[in-house]
Amino acid sequence: MDNIEKIKEEMLNKKVWAVVGATPDESKFGYKIFKKLKERGYEVYGINPKYEELDGEKLYKSISDLPVKPDCVDMVVSPKRSKPIVEEIAENGIEYVWFQPGTFDGETIDLAEAKNLKFVYYDCVLVALG
């Protein structure tokens, strides 16, 4: 089993997730991923400074605003927005990051590596959860 597969398995066994880019817009991945994790019994916190809530659940402005430290962060934002969030993830001592397709570039991945994060990319949480 290669490293990414191992990390993916570790992440899917973690119970507390944050979705950066969670949105009440049902056509967007930020909505679909948030809902799918919830349906699968994960404790999920949405992060999006533009919205107050998603289906009656409070959305948070940033990782630092969360009431708990998540085990994993799922990124559903553009690469330019991902970089400062990777910094914040590292500062908060969170180990796992899942970059959805289209949310990272070489710099983002280099930064995640430099911060010693465990991450998955080129892979979709929706697909992994079936």
Number of domains within the chain: 1
Domain with 124 in it: what CATH number?
Answer: 3.40.50.720
What residue type is assigned to position 36 of the chain? K
Task: Give yes or no for residue 2 having a pLDDT over 80.
Answer: no
Domain of residue 48: give its range.
3-128
CA dist., res. 40 & res. 27, Å (int): 20
Encode pLDDT of 109-128 as tens digits.
Answer: 999 999 999 999 988 898 89
Distances (CA, A) of 58 to 35, 44, 72, 77, 121: 14, 11, 18, 19, 27
Asked if the model's pLDDT at residue 1 lies above 60, the reply is no
pTM for the whole structure? 0.95
